[in-house]
Structure 1
Amino acid sequence: MTVDADLVLCAETDNVATLTLNSPASRNALSLAMLMALSDRLNVIASRDDIRVVILQAEGPAFCAGHDLKELTARRNDPDRGRAFFAETMRACSSVMQRIVALPVPAIAAVDEMATAAGCQLVASCDLAVAGPRARFCTPGVDIGLFCSTPAVALSRNVAPKHAMEMLLTGAPIGAEAALRVGLVSRVSADGARTGAKALAAEIARKSPQAIRFGKQAFYAQREKPLGEAYELASAVMVENMLAADAQEGIAAFLGKREPNWRL
């Protein structure tokens, strides 16, 4: 399948890449084509040393409606009742979510409207999320006989278990303030998610790129380990970070009472 670049637009300003889901007619559903386009954009960003932060936003009346149910339903007429296509779609979706976590730079979701099912998974997979006042989040698979098992992977790693299970078991939407309270988003912006995400991205982009690359990778790696192994890994990362050019420059700048000059 050829990648349709128009499904995910990319703009760059001041070392920040903004990816925009651009299928408003489908409420930015994660069709296989959308997943391929998003994966392609993320792979390019991962190879770039000059990008310091990624913002993920969307056009239209919804941030993301989750999987494209019309596309999935159409494949029930396949000889295998859609099994192979369903498996391909789930693999592609899981790969995109893991690619976001594995990006060397922070990813910020900017959510002004509804993020549903795998769309909620997309938000939870980002390192940070900014919600506008009208943002809503839900995992309503139970309402159509399809438990949101893959969204649960990202959701359960961001939200306390009982809050995550309530979302998964009831399918009920939660608003921006509730999402902030349970940890699904990191802040609510009264001026809208895009404005808030840009301000947050600009703040992060001013920090040491080397330190953030070290830190993001270590954060997720240590989280999956027992306490002793986590400290062992984090200590090793700290040593490598101390030997890096940005740490030398940053400490010298702090001691010299001047602004640091970070390397890309």
Structure 2
Amino acid sequence: MERHIMHENAPPVLRRDEGAVAILTLNRPASRNSLSTGMLAALQAALDEVAADRDIRAVVLAAEGPAFSAGHDLKEVTAHRADADGGAAFFAGIMAACGTVMQAVVALPQPVVAAVQGIATAAGCQLAASCDLVVASTTAKFCTPGVDIGLFCSTPGVALARAVPRKSAMEMLLLGEMIPAGEAQRMGLVNRVMPPEAVLPTALALAQQIASRSAVAVQLGKRGFNAQQAMPLAEAYAAAGAVMVENLLAEDAAEGIGAFVAKRRPEWQHR
């Protein structure tokens, strides 16, 4: 089933469901899937729709064309320099909207697997880094090139700092160089590197594997993992322990443990 998130001749984001997996596809290949105000609004709408859909247990985020996303639409940004305030209000608005979308990816109850078939630069790299898993093409490259145009990639740095070691993040941010998929995998930004034709099928297979598990366990786990990352060690263990208790009290935990003891396959109720 395919649903268009925005009712226009060329929807910025497409949705297609494969069982319990929603495939969201950025659909502005001519502009290299830049994160314009329209694209951000469409992606936010798509994420909100998926978050409320109890039948969806995992998400694949893909893109049409040779680029996953080239980041912010610099033509749109430049046009607003003619505003009375020099673009200040627009710049603040677009940064806020982009930050909200990135946080929505992280906060989405369902895990998100990025299928990166081409370049992911600046805020496009930020989007990939915000996903829970990343499958990249052998031809994909990642970059935060803001320093090349006098604009340090500060907001992409937020996602990078949470995805890769500090030195790797700073190298990308300070040098602005293209990072091949293999190197991105070594630094921890990418989980798997595949031939171009295998990127989307691999991302879908991973999402389907996730979707085959108990939704309550996976969703509690994602939320708890993200929450504890920002905590000191003792607080992190306390928070994770509380998540474990909540999970143990769920019906699916009783079913899963019972099935393991009885040596049978569990039957998830997703509650």
Interval of TM-score (by shorter of Structure 1 and Structure 2): over 0.9
TM alignment of 1:26-175, pairs within 5 A:
26-175=31-180
Question: Unaligned 5+ residue runs, structure 2?
Answer: none
Residue 41 of structure 1 and its aligned partner are, at CA, apart by: 0.4
CA–CA separation in structure 1 for the residues paired with 2:249 and 2:216: 11
Structure 1 contact 112–192 (Cα < 8 Å) conserved = no
| 1:79-134 deviations in Å (ceiling 9; x for gaps) | 00110001000000000000000011100110011001000000000011001111
Secondary structure of the residue that 1:110 maps to in structure 2?
A: strand
Structure 1 contact 53–107 (Cα < 8 Å) conserved = yes
What is the aligned length?
Answer: 262
Structure 1 contact 4–33 (Cα < 8 Å) conserved = no
Match of 2:248 in 1: 242
Which of the numbers 261, 265, 269 marks the counterpart of 1:259? 265
Residue 4 of structure 1 and its aligned partner are, at CA, apart by: 3.4
Match of 1:182 in 2: 187
Match of 1:197 in 2: 203
Structure 1 contact 9–21 (Cα < 8 Å) conserved = yes
Secondary structure of the residue that 2:43 maps to in structure 1?
A: helix
- Over the aligned positions, Cα root-mean-square deviation in angstroms equals 1.0
CA–CA separation in structure 1 for the residues paired with 2:181 and 2:170: 18
Structure 1 contact 118–151 (Cα < 8 Å) conserved = yes
CA–CA separation in structure 1 for the residues paired with 2:135 and 2:240: 28
CA–CA separation in structure 2 for the residues paired with 1:101 and 1:239: 23
What letter is aligned with 1:207?
R
CA–CA separation in structure 2 for the residues paired with 1:161 and 1:101: 20
| 1:141-181 deviations in Å (ceiling 9; x for gaps) | 00000000000000011111111111111110111110100
Structure 1 contact 189–195 (Cα < 8 Å) conserved = no
TM, length-normalised to structure 1 = 0.97
| 1:16-53 deviations in Å (ceiling 9; x for gaps) | 00000000110000000100000000001111111110
Question: Unaligned 5+ residue runs, structure 1?
Answer: none
Which moves more between the two structures, 181-190 or 164-173?
181-190
Aligned residues with identical type, % of pairs: 59
What letter is aligned with 2:223?
Q
